[in-house]
Amino acid sequence: MIILDANYILRFLLNDIEEMYEISKQIIKNNKCLILNEVIAEVVFVLLEALKIFENKRSLDFVDCILCAKSEFYKIKTFDKKLNKCIEAKK
């Protein structure tokens, strides 16, 4: 049994990074996987929070909105000025 984290699930659902999508797809397809309730909650939170950010900040693409939403849980490193501005605004 493999336990998946939120980033793994997000890469699979969003297919935003091709290499990570393919890896996650193969793991999910070929193994018994467990997703903890807490992980599902984080995925839902990130996606819903990202949608709110995307709605208000059309200058960011959806992946950047996800990163901005995840900045509540993780330190995000980027050279993208618009993304950094979003992250700073969330603090």
For the beta carbon of residue 11, count every other beta carbon within 10 angstroms: 20
CB 73 within 8 A of CB 43: no
- Mean pLDDT, residues 22-27 taken together: 96
- 69-82 average pLDDT score: 91
Residue 90's pLDDT is what? 82
- Give the pLDDT confidence of 37-61 residue by residue, as tens digits: 999 999 999 998 889 998 887 788 8
Share of the chain above pLDDT 90, in %: 67
Calculate the alpha carbon distances from 53 to 8, 21, 28, 46, 64 in Å. 21, 23, 29, 10, 9
Residue count of the chain, please give it. Answer: 91
Give the per-residue pLDDT at 6: 92
pLDDT in tens, 1-24: 999 999 999 999 989 889 999 999
